[in-house]
Structure 1
Amino acid sequence: MSITPTRKTALLPMLICCLLFFILGFITWANGSLIPFSKRAFNLETDLQAYLVTFASYIAYFFLALPSSWILKKIGFHNGLVASVMVLGLGSLIFIPAAEHNSYLLFLLAIFVQGAGMALLQTAVNPYLSIIGPIESAAQRISIAGIFNKSAGILVPIIFNQLLLKGANAAEEKLNAATTEIEKQSILSDLLQQLHTPYITLAIIFVAFAVFLKFVKLPEVGVEEDSTEGDKLVTKNRLTQYPHLFLGALAIFFCVAVEVMAGDIIGTYARELGNVPQVFRDNATTFTLLFMLFGYVLGIIAIPRFISQQFSLRICTIVGIIFTTCAVFTTGLTSFWFVALLGIANSLMWPAIFPLGIQGLGKFTKIGSAIMIMGIAGGAIWPLVYGFLKDTLAIDFQHAFLYAMIPAYLYILFFAIRGHKAGK
């Protein structure tokens, strides 16, 4: 059964959703710092190997979104939120043995387990946020929650820069000066110990928040058997009768792909540019997310008062294509700023795509939401595509960026113009 949207936004669920989006943002955008950290701490040879950080994080959505839908059906949205935060705590604890045993595999497993918790959380919180008020203003509510998400993303590089990256930069200098393998291993071991404080702290916070969630009364929204289009009851008995759902899931795939490219890959992109100051390279994700935050504010003001969700999506994709092209055909800080400005272009894509993808699904809302969440795997695949183009095919890093980004934006533009109407 599906969930009936209310005509008025419920305040307490909205506040809880905002806090959960903050948690999602903190864990998700930590990848931007963990990529350069892991390359140094585990002495990896290529950026492609370091991009396995984003792969481990986002591929969990592909494998666990549908099981998450089944879990939510059994235990409900409220208990699903509690369980997801507990899994995030478990993933945080796995970083400790990863550091102790100098194991990149365990490090990636910790990230994957956190990704599993985020898959369950995303599968629950996105439809919940979409239906605690009118569907027409769902993009506005997701944009408000997105401010919390991106605020966390802005904070995490600053925090991790102090806890991890500063030590990683110093360790890199020591490694270059080290003369024996034992000395190098000692430096790397000391660097990995820096994972203890942030992740033990996160584990404690997540468990405490899960307990808090358990005892907070959140309404389970009402259910209906079928969907409606206008005043007409629509009875459909299989998911294939909703082609806009699958087109929407692919749009989410490319939406997350370009978000991760602009938010997580910008740090390594800046290092490739060469003449970008260290402060910009270490805090690169923060700049992208500041622009995303600005885009969310514009969305809150404009949707649906001045423009529709669909029209905002068209504008964002066109702006994304323009900024990508400008980034590729400029150099230095100018190129860096155009990549960061992609935060504005990417900001309103998810808030528009998700409600358009699940609109009218009726009793298939939960499983449809899970299919949409599977699209987050774009964040796993696209950095590897970029790394393959750059490291394996030896394509210039800026042209590789262009070849990765433009097809993604073009598909999202198709969904904004025609794809979301399919089957309706």
Structure 2
Amino acid sequence: MADGYLKTNGVRNQRMKCNGRMKNEQLLTAKAKRDNWIGVGILGMMFFTFGFVSWVNAILIPYFKIACELTNFQSYLVAFAFYISYLLMSMPSSYLLKVVGYKRGIVIGFWIMAAGALLFVPAAYGRTYPVFLLGLFTLGTGLAILQTVANLYVTLIGDRERAAQRISIMGICNKGAGILAPLVFSWAVFRASDQELFLQIPLLEDVQRGIVLDELILRVVAPYSVLAMLLFLIGVCIWFSPLPEISQKTEDQREKRTSLWQFPHLVLGAIAIFLHVGTQVIAIDTVINYAGAMGLSLLEAKALPSYTLSATIMGYLFGIFLIPRFVKQKLMLRLCSLLGLTFSLLVCLTNVPVYLAGMNLDSSIWFLIAIGLPNALIWAGIWPLALDGLGDLAKQGSALLIMGLSGNAIIPMLYGWMADVSSERNAYWVLVPCFAYIVFYAFWGHRYRTWST
């Protein structure tokens, strides 16, 4: 009887231990899911910040041109100073992340951006354009850190097959901010009488013109001071947030290599990102000038970039609904790259009058706007494929992909040069080889694991 009692008691104790272990595992799983959702929320806020700070450059360019009395070339240094930081600072940011970790890296990125926004204050009081450019470069540096960690985070924080779906959610936050940014800046800086003022400025005497321009440029002090404060506070909030830290053990360790250049699919993916972001900026930033070549005024055409961004948001919504439930993210990348190539060819080859949205424009401009739809899911498709199997080099790999954002500065300049020597319409041929390469990467390039044939 004593033996039977001991056996029964031992079985009961063993069951209690198993039940306790299962409850602990369930609690840990629930906590991990909660932390992941908190992480997704924080990442969404970060991508909103990326979009807001980046897309406001489109209105800063003409604003600085007037207030600082710049040539066209000098005014476009706004975009160059901002985006060249991605090329120069992305790789150093990856080493910073390796030392301080993901979460602290995000905090540092926001604080660097706050410093960049504060530089607008002395730049405005001195109406000193080089200091503005330094502020923009500093803002871009902080964004380079945030982009490096955020895109890697959103890729690794959950199921890899759902990475494109998560990136689509982030894209909606980014492009939604892109629609709001020019409106908010215009509300904060411009006045109803400014249109008449801008016409009078060239006619004023030097002293009076200087006083008017000083008053005009000082309008950025308040909004950028508020922006600096918000960026600093966001960094503080993230410091105390339960954002999960992704350890090196959670990263894929299948391929043990020592250099990024030993991963052809990563290097080819960085080239694909470079070309992709260039097509994205061309589709958004050139559409007003292209409509102007068709006889549409600036006030009539000012909403066209929002149409492209709206098409991009629609693409993100398709991605959230379809990936991976109905369509695998690799297949979606292939479909979108082919669709983008088709639209770019139609931009260059079609010439049919179309009346749409109250405007009578050439069909090519509507195909240009439609490029926003496939472009939404190309970025989301490239990232998981390019980072696959990097292991401990994932941070540096992410930084290499972020360096591809320098295509935002270089590809549009190539378009501008082609437009000057030929025409706005013929310049869109630059889109065709870009999308052709993305098609190559989607079907074949991402498979390369060695440079040898």
Query: Which residue is equivalent to 2:426?
Result: 399
1:3 aligned partner = none
Residue in 2 aligned with 1:379?
408
In structure 2, C-alpha distance between the alignment counterparts of 1:395 and 1:326, rounded to whole Å: 18
Where does residue 150 of structure 1 map in the other structure? 175
Classify the secondary structure of the residue corresponding to 1:348: helix
Could you report, residue by residue, the CA deviation over 1:194-232 in whole angstroms, capped at 9, with x for unpaired residues? 21222111111111111111111222123239846xxxx
1:40 aligns with 2:66: yes
Cross-structure match for 1:357: 386
Query: Aligned to 2:52, which of 26, 31, 37?
Result: 26
* Corresponding letter in the other structure for 2:44: C
Percent identity (aligned): 37
Note the C-alpha offset of 1:273.
4.0
Aligned residue number for residue 95 of structure 1 = 120
- Aligned equivalent of 2:314: 294
Counterparts in 2 of 1:265 and 1:112: CA distance versus 1, 3 Å: farther
After superposition, give the CA deviation of every residue in 1:153-172 in whole Å (9 maximum; x if it has no partner). 11112222333466764443
1:305 counterpart = 2:325: yes
For 1:263, give the aligned amino acid. Answer: I
Residue type of the alignment partner of 1:412 = I
CA separation of 1:7/1:315 partners in 2, compared to 1, >3 Å: closer, same or farther?
Answer: farther
Q: 1:92-123: CA deviations, max 9, x gaps?
A: 11122222222222222211111000000011
Q: CA deviation at 1:84?
A: 0.5
Q: Is the 8 A contact 1:32 1:267 kept in 2?
A: no
Q: Which residue in 2 is equivalent to 1:137?
A: 162
Is 1:366 matched with 2:395? Answer: yes
Report the Cα distance in structure 2 between the residues aligned to 1:419 and 1:115, rounded to whole angstroms: 29
Which has the higher mean CA deviation after the structures are superposed, 327-336 or 292-301?
Answer: 327-336
Contact 1:61 1:115 in 2 (8 A): yes
Q: Is the 8 A contact 1:29 1:264 kept in 2?
A: no
Aligned counterpart for 1:317 among listed residues 337, 345, 350: 337
Q: Secondary structure at the match of 1:216?
A: coil
Name which structure has the greater RCO, CA cutoff 8 Å, separation 6+.
1
Give the unaligned 5+ runs of structure 2.
1-30, 354-359
Asked if 1:172 is matched to 2:198, the reply is: yes
Query: Cα RMSD between the aligned structures?
Result: 2.5
C-alpha change, 1:277 and 1:416, in structure 2 (3 Å) is: same
- Are the equivalent residues in 2 in contact too, given 1:226–1:236 (CA < 8 A)? no
Rounded Cα–Cα distance in structure 2 between residues aligned with 1:225 and 1:219: 12
From 423, 435, 440, the counterpart of 1:414: 440
Residue 26 of structure 1 aligns with an amino acid whose one-letter code is F
Distance change in 2, residues 1:10/1:118 (3 Å): same
Give distance in 1, aligned partners of 2:244 and 2:212: 51
What CA distance in whole angstroms lies between the structure 2 residues aligned with 1:88 and 1:343? 28
- 2:279–2:434 CA contact under 8 A, matched in 1: yes
> Given that residues 292 and 301 in structure 2 are in contact (C-alpha distance below 8 angstroms), is that contact kept between their aligned partners in structure 1?
no
1:79 is aligned with what amino acid? Answer: R
CA distance in 2, matches of 1:382, 1:193: 32
**1:264 is aligned with what amino acid?**
D
Which sections of structure 1, spanning at least 5 residues, go unmatched? Answer: 1-5
Q: Aligned partner of 1:317: which letter?
A: S
Larger C-alpha radius of gyration, 1 or 2? 2
Distance 2:292 2:118 in 1: 31
Of 369-378 and 98-107, more deviation after overlay is shown by: 98-107
Partner of 1:236: 257
Deviations 1:361-384 (A, max 9, x none): 112111111111111111121222
Change (3 A) 1:411 1:164: farther
More displaced 10-residue stretch of structure 1: 323-332 or 366-375: 323-332
Counterparts of 2:123 and 2:293 in 1: how far apart (Å)?
29
Provide the rounded CA distance (Å) in 1 between the counterparts of 2:361 and 2:147. 35
Code of the aligned partner of 2:271: L
Equivalent in the alignment of 1:260 = 281
Equivalent position to 2:268, from 247, 262, 272 = 247
